Chains A and B, each alone.
Chain A
Amino acid sequence: MASSNDLDIVNVTKRFGSHAAVEDVSFSVAPGEFFSILGPSGCGKTTLMRMIAGFEHPTSGDIRIRDRSMIGVPANRRPVNMVFQSLALFPMMSVGENVAYGMTCRGVGRAEADERAARMLERVGLNGFGHRQVTALSGGQRQRVAIARCLVLEPTLVLLDEPLGALDLKLREHMKIELKQLQGTFNTTFAYITHDQSEALVMSDRIAVMNGGRFEQIGSPRDLYHNPGTPFVASFVGETNRWRGAVSGAADRGLSVRLSSGVLAQGRGDAKTGDALCFVRPEAIALAAEAGALQILPNRFEGRVSAVLFDGANSSLLINAAGFDEPIRAVLPQAGPLAGITVGAPIHVGWTADAMKVFAA
């Protein structure tokens, strides 16, 4: 079976003793794609990546790169290069030597390797940095050296293991965009692992959400955010309100759920009966000072502002509403009429049935 994918993972399982770190995972990455694996720490994503790189060997299953099985191929013979979490630049070498290292390993002559390294450094915006020591570089520059060191080898696939983890927030935001642009210019396939959902959402073409050694869902960032397939995906990807309840019956266009705190709400989902988990995104919650403005919404509640979490465009309110154990979190548009609202003010909240995802608990 010929495949046009750069990477095919086929039913890969990895066990350490009786513990399965990765369990029966399958996916494919198309050429030029930016594919992310998103999951909490300890979900097995690092093990999966190390198997692709060749540092761990799957207990069962197959890893195919451009349709060639990588089982039994050592790490230094795979057309895959990795950007490590710690970056793992060679401190005993200069920037230029770091980039030229891979080429000299492949038998490229010293002069040609140096020249290609210099050209690659120019492309990543480090023109003339070849003779610097890697310890003399800033975080962002080190990052670029680590990527240049991989890209210069023209690998089929670049693996990135949370490379932005060690950077400060501002630089991380900047590097997200830069990474995405680099991937676009070089048109290389990237497989990126992270526990930071924002990194995955911003950069990826497709994301696989991983939990407990298994894939929960694979989809585009939009798809995962708006149509989560499992409760885990709904709560892990993006901010969300989460309530427990029980399906009490069908409503006119969905499900009617009695939340554990007593109130009835309408949502959509596959759960037909029994215990349920309900998720509503903070930005899906409409706010109004008057009850009348929310008349058309099936879910309407009244409450008081318990906290204003000001964070510029990401500002939100915590609202204590009758019938809810925990405050409802709602995005507070800074351009709207409620921008100046203060703690204790009465407020009306509401959301559509589509906005509330109901999963069997």
Chain B
Amino acid sequence: MTSARRLTLFLMMAPAILWLGLLIVLPHVEILILSFSERVAPRVYQFGFGNYLEFFTEPLYWRTFARTAIMSILVTAITLLLAFPIALYIARVARGRVKAMLLLLCLLPFWVSELVRTLGWMMLLRETGLISYLLRATGLATQPVELLYNDGAVILGLVYGGLLFMIVPLANALESLDPSVVEAGYDLGGSRATVLRRIVIPHAMPGIVAGSIIVFMLTVGNFATPVLLGGKNGLWFTEQIYAQFITRFNWPQGAAFGMLLLLLSSAIVWAGLRLTGQGLGTTLRQA
């Protein structure tokens, strides 16, 4: 390679390297170092595992942590179940303009910010909101119903936020399935369930895994939705990190929590890939 070409390559790569270095690698190295520093006296820090020990000894922390993990898996599963028929319809039934329209409809809510979208749900779900009003108007409830500030509301909001990110990779995967392969599945005597189980789902597997990873990551790291829809009952692990950094001003503790969250999502993604027998490479191509 000539030096000119090498320079061109370097210049083209530079933004990506700067992006990764300054915004991802550097902060994480900083956070990693920070998470191992213990405060022994005002303004005096020393190396130690105290911040991680604190996490395991204080039940509120690890319970919130476990709760975040379990609820995120639940949200991912629900999103997958909801998105699959939608993606199947978009990929295999809809044609031309209708297909573009449907994808646009999925995308539309993302034109407003997450905060506004979540506030929209609050308007619907709160005690004086639309659903509560309709329940009373139809006589199904005698007094105002509070639908906010429970796990159901948090899951609803998170599923809603994740749906698009599940539908797109799923629809992509399903679109590449040769229609005659599905027909052959029926022709050889397969019922709808058999064709779905043995042909459609195995074919869509890379899309399913890709969508699930994206939705899981977005859910675990979400902040606004659990806080706004869950209120005091939200108890999302990101709130703990926020509290340590912003409210308690205990940066080392927050940094330790941040590292733990990173470990958690990496571990679960790895387990998911192992469980479904998918490689990270094929999955990334699908997403």
Contacts and interface: CB of A to CB of B under 8 A. Distances in A.
Interface of A: 53-55, 74-77, 80-82, 84-86, 88-93, 101-102, 105-106, 149-150, 153
B180 A76 contact: no
B189 interface: yes
Contact of B202 (A77, A81, A92): A92
A53 B186 CA distance: 10
Contacts of B202: 92
Contact of B191 (A55, A76, A89, A102): A76
B1 to A, nearest CB: 36
Contacts of A92: 198-199, 202-203
B42 to A, nearest CB: 63
B183 interface: yes
Interface residues of B, number: 17
A76 B183 contact: no
Counting chain A CB atoms within 10 Å of each CB, the highest count among B180, B188, B194 belongs to B188
Interface in B163-220: 178, 180-181, 183-191, 194, 198-199, 202-203
A88 B199 contact: no
A91 B202 CA distance: 10
The prevalent SS among residues of B at the interface is: helix
Contact of B188 (A54, A55, A74, A149): A149
Nearest to B195: A76
Interface string B79-105: 000000000000000000000000000
B184 A105 contact: no
A80 B188 CA distance: 8
Contacts of B178: 86, 88
B187 A75 contact: yes
B184 A76 contact: no
A76 B190 contact: yes
Q: Identify the 9 closest CB pairs spanning chains A and B, nearest first.
A: A102-B188, A92-B202, A88-B184, A105-B189, A88-B180, A84-B180, A88-B181, A75-B186, A105-B190
Contact of A105 (B180, B181, B194, B203): B194
Interface of B: 178, 180-181, 183-191, 194, 198-199, 202-203
A154 to B, nearest CB: 12
A191 to B, nearest CB: 14
A158 to B, nearest CB: 11
A101 B198 contact: yes
A106 B180 CA distance: 20
Nearest to B203: A92
28 contacts: A54-B186, A54-B187, A76-B187, A76-B190, A76-B191, A77-B189, A80-B187, A82-B183, A82-B184, A84-B184, A86-B180, A88-B180, A88-B184, A89-B181, A90-B184, A90-B198, A90-B199, A91-B181, A91-B203, A92-B198, A92-B202, A92-B203, A93-B198, A102-B188, A102-B189, A102-B190, A105-B189, A150-B188
A105 B197 CA distance: 12
A190 to B, nearest CB: 15
Contacts of A84: 180, 183-184
A6 to B, nearest CB: 17
Contacts of A75: 183, 186-187
B124 to A, nearest CB: 42
A127 B181 CA distance: 24
Contacts of A105: 188-191, 194
B177 to A, nearest CB: 10
A102 B191 CA distance: 11
Contact of B187 (A81, A85, A86, A106): A81
Nearest to B192: A76
A18 B178 CA distance: 29
B251 to A, nearest CB: 49
